[in-house]
Amino acid sequence: MRFTGVWILLLLWALAPLPTGTTWTHTSWSGWNVALAQRSGGGVGGRGGFSTPRPAPSIPRFNPELQANLRHMAQAADTENVRGLADLMDNAAVLLLREQAGWRFGMYEVWQGSLQKAEGQFDAWMTETRSEFLETYRHFEGKEVVQAGYQPKAEPDGRYILVTLLLAVSGSLPPVPTPLRREGARQALMALASSSPTNTLAAYVAWTPEAEGEALTEQDLLLGWPKLELL
């Protein structure tokens, strides 16, 4: 049966190198390290598909070009109409699909509900995402904000970039298998990319770190985002 309300999909993506011969161990940490919120981050999106918009209240080695490509994508995005938001999600999916060899961790979450409650849920997830880093770049509903003077915090063991994709659509999208794993992750990206101007209500893409020269460590990831699954 086709669900006729609103779906909001949250996808977190962690990309990193995996040198030959490296063995992964998955250790759990609890709690939140406030220092993580001081890392740079960027975001782009809008909510042009909601009927009553209001002002704003996740390769064999880490590819530094991904940070630059995300910023260029964000700068070029049309965040004031639903066609631009659908294109934004398509372009983000393409960037991540090109980096499949570097996929390490991921998470996929879906909320379903009425249109009346959907915008509040979207804003809640977007606000939570924004609180996870210091915004050095933001392009939202046509307004760009750049924080000048930020000093990148280089980590010797840093090798991850985390990308978050948040999408609200009317109707439904293709199902995604769980647990996520690598094939499920690919299907999740394809599901988000299947949105169109006719069903897109809102979209937001965020990434951290945003500043050139910064990267997250494995401990940063597991401390800050304990729900991430090893792909």
Question: What is the spatial distance between Cα 25 and Cα 205, in angstroms, rounded to a whole number?
Answer: 29
* Local structure of 76: helix, strand or coil: helix
- Confidence at residue 204, expressed as pLDDT on a 0 to 100 scale: 92
The residue ranges of every structural domain in the chain are 6-18+38-230
3-state secondary structure of 72: helix
Across the chain, what does the average pLDDT equal? 78
| pLDDT higher at 174 or 138 | 138
Instruction: Measure the CA–CA gap between 24 and 117, rounded to whole angstroms.
Output: 41
Q: What is the DSSP string of 114-173?
A: -HHHHHHHHHHHHHHHHTTSEEEEEEETTEEEE-TT------TT--BEEEEEEEEEES--
pLDDT digits (tens, 9 = 90+) for 127-171: 999 999 899 999 999 999 998 888 888 888 888 899 999 999 888
pLDDT digits (tens, 9 = 90+) for 37-87: 567 787 777 766 553 333 222 322 345 688 899 999 999 999 999 999 999
Record the pTM: 0.81
The answer to whether 102 and 17 have CB atoms below 8 angstroms apart is yes
